[in-house]
Amino acid sequence: MRLVRLIANLGYGSRKEVAQMFRAGRVTDAGGEVLYADDQVEAASIRVDGTPLDPGSGLVLMLHKPMGTTCSHRDPGQLIYDLLPPRFARRRPPVSSIGRLDRDTSGLLLLTDDGALLHRVIAPVAQVRKRYVATLAQDLRGDEAAVFASGTLLLDGETTPLAPAPFQALGPREAQVTLTEGRYHQVRRMFAALGNRVETLHRAAIGDLVLGELPSGHWRQLQAAELALVFAR
Ligand code: URA
């Protein structure tokens, strides 16, 4: 019964449902041999419906968050968790997003069941770089790079200035900004402080990890080597 508990804890179903999956022959080894609930096998060689079992702990996913989805477990409207298999919400510990993007921001979002990893990425001391691409309602003024790099920009209602943020113009109304902090609506408020307005906002990279070809609304598991890119300096 060890295997039933293992698979149930990964969110594939209640113990009763997982026991039923064994009886239906849906749990096999890597060679397709049907497994029984009291078999002694390594988790790595287990397949459910032919697909390798999710990792036991330290699951890390990347999601291409579409605009209009919310980084919350229970908000009205579409949630990022609706884009993932329901078993991820049933895992113990559950899968949560590493930081948040606004409802109207798209792009790279990481999720994990590993609380220590989550804190390592979002802790201010880690200074993980987040690269955003913004399209703007008005033409750039020309002084954005200097203002954002100054380390003196104060956002409305705040008393601590922003850390310097590298800026690059990509077109008359398009720019890239890299943040090492994560203040509320930070990019939108930075441009608002200069009299502009962000029309669309997309997170293109975290550290050196980029979204690549992952289509909007899709997710995949991250490999250990890719996770190291998040912390690249
Ligand atoms: N800055 C914003 O304004 N919104 C985000 O979602 C992320 C950074």
Q: Which residues contact 141 (CB under 8 A, 6 or more apart)?
A: 194, 195, 196
Ligand 1 neighbour 101 (Cβ under 6 A):
yes
Task: With 0.85 as the threshold, say if the pTM is over it.
Answer: yes
Ligand 1 mutation target, pool 98, 100, 102, most atoms within 8 A of CB = 102
Q: What is the pLDDT of residue 93?
A: 86
Ligand 1 neighbour 130 (Cβ under 6 A):
no
Q: Measured between alpha carbons, how far is 88 from 151 in angstroms, rounded to an integer?
A: 40
Per-residue pLDDT tens digits for 38-91: 999 999 999 999 999 998 888 999 999 999 999 998 888 999 999 999 998 888
Residue with tokens 């250990």: 224
- 161, pLDDT greater than 70: yes
Dihedral of CA 28/30/33/36: which sign? Answer: negative
Q: What is the pLDDT of residue 131?
A: 98
Q: What is the pLDDT of residue 56?
A: 82
Q: What is the pLDDT of residue 233?
A: 85
Percent of all residues in the chain with a pLDDT value above 70, rounded to a whole number = 100
How far away, in angstroms, is 202 Cα from ligand 1 center? 8
Ligand 1 neighbour 187 (Cβ under 6 A):
yes
